[in-house]
A and B are shown apart, each in its own frame.
Chain A
Amino acid sequence: MKRRTFLAAGALGVAALAAGGWLRYGVRLAPPGRALDDDARVTVAALVPAFLDGALPVHAPLRDSAIIETVGAVDAAILGLPPIAQHELAQLFGLLGFPPARMALGMRTAWSDASTVEVQAALQRWQGSRSLLLRSAYDGLHQLILAAWYANPRAWPDIGYPGPPALS
């Protein structure tokens, strides 16, 4: 593990909390053509409705497809980032997907079972954390997830954005 990488850079508090196990856990390879492995997709699928509560469609079929599309767009966005940033995000999702670390970060429930309220409470703590690492994790997820949804034309009618003008 290089000192300069995402976790180690600000790991002091977090590493202590996670009792060291996750460092070995490390970075797993996602399937080819994907940045997120299955566990990471579950994590992002729980984070998306927490970030986008009040923005996503309310009713099940539309809401579910919006979440799936947003997770897919997050995956695609990560693949467009430089290798170092991809590696850091893989470490972050590795950490979030490792139960002891997840619990140390304030998420007691597994991502697949977590309520939006519970996830938002964790986000709130990361955002206001004294740890620069946790704040940068919040910031990175904020940027990825909000960009993924609002780049989607499905998001535009609700926010009054007419889309790009037609040129003739």
Chain B
Amino acid sequence: MNATTPAVSLRPDPIREGLARGWKVLDATRGTHDAVYEADVAIVGSGAGGGIAADILSAAGLRVVLIEEGPLRSSSDFRMRESDAYPQLYQASAARKTRDKTINILQGRCVGGGTTVNWTSSFRTPPRTLAHWRDAYALQGFGEDDLEPWFERVERQLSIAPWTVEPNANNAALARGASRLGIAYAAIRRNVHQCWNLGYCGMGCPTNAKQSMLVTTIPAALDRGAVLISGARAVRLTHASDRVTGVECAAMDERGVAPSGRSFTVRARSYVVAGGAINTPALLLRSGVADPHGLIGARTFLHPTVVSAALMPERVDGYAGAPQTIYSDAFLDDVPPEGPIGYKLEAPPIHPVLAAITLPGHGAPHARFMRRLPHLSVLIALLRDGFHPDSGGGRVQLADDGTPVLDYPFNDYLWSGVRRAFQSMAAIQFAAGATEVLPIHGTGASFTTAGSARSGIDAFDLAPLVTPVVSAHVMGGCTMGADARRAVVDPSGRFHHLANLFVADGSLFPTSIGANPQLTIYAVAARLATAWASQWRTS
């Protein structure tokens, strides 16, 4: 395959250029000997929340230390191979699972976090989600009008704009099927600049077109003198009376799998936790901070996602071209958020490993679908969890070694949405011209007509580890709200029980978003961090 190995070194790499300019970047897997680092602000996590916060706080003249458990990798390293990308850039090699292993979670773990590996879908928070937060959680200051200027700001900063290139065939199939059935669909906005339309966003953008934290806010912060420590796990916040006094960190081993035994401490005036909605609650739980109402880690949401594969007579080449460019909210909009669970439809990238682990079963039946990979079309349905009393989400707990485990039980409320989602996806795929539809369930029953799919799906015995469920979005677990009996942090992002501890990631959300969450995290983090900057600059 050497003939197709890209000559990546010929293209600019802003990270390697910055390192050559003398950025203060430390790879903890290679050094640190019980050191102590001091700063104005320590930020844990370099994803959507931590990246935005690092940019805004460093621009205010504050000395920032950014701590990231994953490695620093950049465009020169991004070879568009699943065998490189999943172990290096994802939590647990892209195999992080819920406690009973029912749900497989795709979550970034590298400098830039999820933004380095996401599929670039950029949605403003749905107005109905914000209204629910206001009405059901009495959350003030996060309405549509409040967030409007923050959305505009980050959309400008990250080149978030309509994608005007023709969708790839997998996304075109969603549009075609929906259109023939009279189902509303629209184009997805993307955070890209001069995108090559390659389709490998999930393995790290090799051309730096994706405006992730890795190539925008983090380089900006590093240019201002911020310090980045990669390969380091924030193990515990030490605290005394009402203040955090330090964050104890473990340097990871060379594989980034386990602590190496070396450790260091970061001391700062303020601490911002942005490790994502599983790791942030876990850090708070490990730290033994006050939690009188047992709220830390509770109400963690995933947009539980189910998958439907189809064979198309024409080539789809689902591995090529921008991965998610068309969506349908028809099945979110036709139910009230507090009603039966709704779901968003999207069309994901289809690469060999992702396809192989998603297609059910083994042996000849599995191989038959793999051999048709270029004709494979795939839809996903993301369930909007957290809006109904029967959708309380999961709870982050700690395993014996202190690492987080998310307990996320499934119930009939969720399964009813799964069944409807399978029906919607199969109907759209047949309308788009599919010759065979394979809802990803059980041993892999497939259907060749819309009618047989309808009755077949009705008869599915949906169950954990019979019906594969995946997630690419983690939200909640450190709910934001004014009432300390119902929320972990206040509406300024400050932890209710300590004066200098703040949260800036998706764990703040009282429910799931009902859309890919990156833009919501950016806007909320920008709004919170801007207020922090003005206070901390003068304090």
Q: Are B357 and A146 in contact (CB under 8 A)?
A: yes
**Bound complex: CA A85 to CA B258 (Å):** 12
* Closest B residue, CB atoms, query A168: B7
Residue A139 interfacial (CB < 8 Å) = yes
Cβ of A163: which chain B residues have Cβ within 8 Å of it? 1, 4
Q: Are A52 and B1 in contact (CB under 8 A)?
A: no
* Closest A residue, CB atoms, query B369: A159
Cβ of A12: which chain B residues have Cβ within 8 Å of it? none
Residue A132 interfacial (CB < 8 Å) = yes
Q: Are B362 and A53 in contact (CB under 8 A)?
A: yes
Residue A61 interfacial (CB < 8 Å) = no
Q: Are A84 and B399 in contact (CB under 8 A)?
A: yes
**Distance to closest chain B CB from A104 (angstroms):** 20
Q: Are B361 and A127 in contact (CB under 8 A)?
A: yes
Residue A24 interfacial (CB < 8 Å) = no
Cβ of A101: which chain B residues have Cβ within 8 Å of it? none
Residue B61 interfacial (CB < 8 Å) = no
Of A13-21, A36-44, A75-83, the one contacting chain B is A75-83
Q: Are A161 and B257 in contact (CB under 8 A)?
A: no
Cβ of B82: which chain A residues have Cβ within 8 Å of it? 147, 151
Cβ of A120: which chain B residues have Cβ within 8 Å of it? 362-363
* Closest A residue, CB atoms, query B355: A150
Residue B255 interfacial (CB < 8 Å) = yes
Cβ of A156: which chain B residues have Cβ within 8 Å of it? 1, 352
**Bound complex: CA A55 to CA B257 (Å):** 31
**Distance to closest chain B CB from A125 (angstroms):** 12
Residue B6 interfacial (CB < 8 Å) = yes
The residue that A85 contacts in the complex, of B83, B95, B357, with Cβ under 8 A, is: B95
Q: Are B6 and A81 in contact (CB under 8 A)?
A: no
Residue B293 interfacial (CB < 8 Å) = no
**Distance to closest chain A CB from B70 (angstroms):** 12
Cβ of A142: which chain B residues have Cβ within 8 Å of it? 357, 362
Q: Are A80 and B87 in contact (CB under 8 A)?
A: yes
Q: Are A55 and B357 in contact (CB under 8 A)?
A: no
**Bound complex: CA A149 to CA B81 (Å):** 13
Residue B493 interfacial (CB < 8 Å) = no
Q: Are A84 and B363 in contact (CB under 8 A)?
A: no
**Distance to closest chain B CB from A47 (angstroms):** 9
Q: Are A159 and B370 in contact (CB under 8 A)?
A: yes
Q: Are B373 and A167 in contact (CB under 8 A)?
A: no
The residue that A77 contacts in the complex, of B7, B93, B373, B400, with Cβ under 8 A, is: B93
Q: Are A52 and B206 in contact (CB under 8 A)?
A: no
The residue that B255 contacts in the complex, of A79, A85, A152, A160, with Cβ under 8 A, is: A79
Q: Are B357 and A160 in contact (CB under 8 A)?
A: no
**Bound complex: CA A166 to CA B3 (Å):** 8
Residue B198 interfacial (CB < 8 Å) = yes
**Bound complex: CA A48 to CA B11 (Å):** 39
Kindly supply a per-residue 1/0 record for chain A positions 126-153, scoring 1 wherever the CB is within 8 Å of any chain B CB and 0 otherwise.
0110001001101110110011011111
Cβ of B371: which chain A residues have Cβ within 8 Å of it? 158-160
Residue B80 interfacial (CB < 8 Å) = yes
**Bound complex: CA A1 to CA B196 (Å):** 52
Q: Are B370 and A151 in contact (CB under 8 A)?
A: no
Cβ of A151: which chain B residues have Cβ within 8 Å of it? 81-83, 352-353
Cβ of A59: which chain B residues have Cβ within 8 Å of it? none
**Bound complex: CA A150 to CA B362 (Å):** 13
**Bound complex: CA A120 to CA B367 (Å):** 14
The residue that A165 contacts in the complex, of B6, B101, B464, with Cβ under 8 A, is: B6
Q: Are B6 and A140 in contact (CB under 8 A)?
A: no
Kindly supply a per-residue 1/0 record for chain B positions 341-375, scoring 1 wherever the CB is within 8 Å of any chain A CB and 0 otherwise.
00000000001110111000111101110111110
Contacts A83-B257, A160-B374, A164-B80 given; does A147 touch B465 at CB 8 Å: no
**Bound complex: CA A73 to CA B83 (Å):** 9
Kindly supply a per-residue 1/0 record for chain A positions 17-39, scoring 1 wherever the CB is within 8 Å of any chain B CB and 0 otherwise.
00000000000000000000000
Cβ of B92: which chain A residues have Cβ within 8 Å of it? 81-82, 85
Cβ of A136: which chain B residues have Cβ within 8 Å of it? 100-101, 465
**Bound complex: CA A52 to CA B11 (Å):** 38
**Bound complex: CA A6 to CA B100 (Å):** 9
**Distance to closest chain A CB from B196 (angstroms):** 8
Residue B466 interfacial (CB < 8 Å) = yes
* Closest B residue, CB atoms, query A120: B363
**Bound complex: CA A73 to CA B93 (Å):** 13
Q: Are B356 and A149 in contact (CB under 8 A)?
A: yes
* Closest B residue, CB atoms, query A83: B258
Scan residues 1-45 of chain B and give those whose CB is less than 8 A from a CB of chain A.
1, 3-8, 10-11
Q: Are B466 and A135 in contact (CB under 8 A)?
A: yes
Residue B411 interfacial (CB < 8 Å) = no
Scan residues 67-97 of chain A and give those whose CB is less than 8 A from a CB of chain B.
73, 77, 79-85
Q: List 8 A-B contacts (CB under 8 A).
A: A2-B400, A53-B362, A83-B403, A120-B362, A140-B101, A151-B82, A160-B373, A165-B80
Q: Which residues of A contact B (CB under 8 A)?
A: 2, 4, 9, 50-55, 73, 77, 79-85, 120, 123-124, 127-128, 132, 135-136, 138-140, 142-143, 146-147, 149-153, 155-156, 158-168
In the A-B complex, the 3 residue pairs with the closest CB atoms: A54-B367, A164-B80, A151-B83
New contact pairs (6) apart from A83-B257, A147-B353, CB-CB < 8 Å: A50-B362, A54-B364, A81-B93, A136-B101, A147-B357, A151-B82
